[in-house]
Structure 1
Amino acid sequence: MATIQFKDSKVNLDKLAKFGFIKNGAVYEYQELIVNNQFLLKVTVNKDGNIETKVIDSETKAEYVLHLQPGATGKFVTKVSNDYQSVLDKIQAACYEKDVFKEPQVRDIIDYINDTYDSQLEYLWKKFPHNAIWRRGDTNKWFGLLSVIPKSKLGLDSEKSITVMDMRADSEIIDKLVDNRKYFPGYHMSKKNWYTIMLDGSVDNQEIFDRLQASYDLAK
């Protein structure tokens, strides 16, 4: 048996049922034949999204584990491993959602933007999984950007990682806002049209919500 967690992801229980999982008590179970029906892959998911898998030989009913051994080689074990991983990849794509940003203030902002602007975070860069953007649905223009960076990138004397948010504003407003304590020049974007804040409570939620509206309006 193997235990798996998909990094930076959370399970959507409703999507498990649509995929073909069957609820059995507190867990969801799924089975699929792999390797030309030679093996039965059993997948169990609990409410927290943690996964347990078993690969059972269809003929002997014994559990097969070679695909889990890092040093195992050969065409057959590679085929088992590839089919096994293909099923897990399908489950992750169909039943799991990105869950990168977990800090309370960040979650508040994500929920607010979803409710207010019907905009979902988009993860555009595979090489940068901790960067994501929001965009207007009518113009496709960005109005917010989330990133995880060291504080030193903002000119602060610390290498501690922090989640930051970039928003749009008129250049005159940015000139007045930036104090390099709560408000910083745009880190990822044009410093003329964007500014950055740390989502550590230094700027309260209501102030961020008010400024979000201005950023959203500028993304016309």
Structure 2
Amino acid sequence: MSREDIFFTRKKINREKLLAYGFKNNTELYIYETKIMDDEFKLTISISNKGAIDTELIEIASGEEYVLHRTSAGGSFVGSVKAEYQAILQDIANNCFDTEVFQSASAKEVICYIRKTYQDELEFLWPKSPGNAIFRRKNSKKWYAALLTIQKNKLGLPSDEPIEILDLRNLPEKVAALVDGQKFFPGYHMNKKYWLTVCLDGSVPFEEIKTLIDESFLLAVK
């Protein structure tokens, strides 16, 4: 990961926000130019349509590229350049990108499917747990899905790696029939009789996940 990429981890490009910020679009790149350090340097930031970041810092007096801000070089001047450079990148990350919490292909499919089918958006209810969110029905206000990021060993799997999971409602007999300790588990932090957990690691075909989402939605009534 490059020094620039650190500021944009789990971020998704928002083209409208880039343009509003002052970026210019030339089809393949969004380009932003500004001066820093009392106009001693010109900073050019280029962002591709896929969100790849590239920067160039030019010392205006010499016309040469300055690179010490990307190294471990010390000194008060280099430190000031680094601080101003990084502050601009952080500001762009905060104002021109949307946070993309869930990374797995299956989680993204779940979000898109629910948005298209039920017009519901994720609700992030726990500030101290930014990797957890829920979907709820508009009419009953009841949850029918929860997207969570946990360690695998929380499910009893032999690993402490993170995994994205989906909690869904279902009938007790189907929950009992599906739970296998590999792809399906008792509902994590839910009533284990009426909820099951689906691993979003690609082990469950998305057509099957869609069916389970639909069943959960129908059960989330008053």
1:45: how far off? Answer: 1.3
- Deviations for 1:58-99, whole angstroms, at most 9, x for unmatched residues? 44433333322224232x333322221121112212222334
Give the % identical residues: 36
Aligned 8 A contact 2:136 2:143 in 1: yes
Measure, in 1, the Cα distance between the counterparts of 2:42 and 2:126: 35
State the partner residue of 2:42: 40
Gaps of 5+ in 1: none
Is 1:4 aligned with 2:4?
A: yes
Contact 2:142 2:220 in 1 (8 A): no
Normalised TM-score (structure 2): 0.74
CA distance in 2, matches of 1:104, 1:165: 13
Matched AA of 2:186: P
Which residue of the partner structure matches residue 119 of structure 2?
Answer: 118
d(CA) in 2 for partners of 1:219, 1:93: 38
Task: Describe the superposition over 1:33-63 as per-residue Cα deviations: whole angstroms up to 9, x where unpaired.
Answer: 2233333221111222111112233444333
Query: Is 2:196 the partner of 1:212?
Result: no
Alignment partners' CA distance in 2, 1:181 and 1:66: 50
TM-score by length of 1: 0.74
Q: Which amino acid aligns with 1:155?
A: G
- Contact (CA 8 Å) 1:169, 1:193: kept in 2 or not? yes
Aligned counterpart, 2:184? 183
Aligned-partner Cα distance in 2 for 1:65–1:124? 42
Which segments of 5 or more consecutive residues in structure 2 lack a partner in the other structure?
none
Number of residue equivalences: 216
Q: Secondary structure at the match of 2:109?
A: helix
Paired with 2:120 and 2:146, the residues of 1 have a C-alpha distance of 10
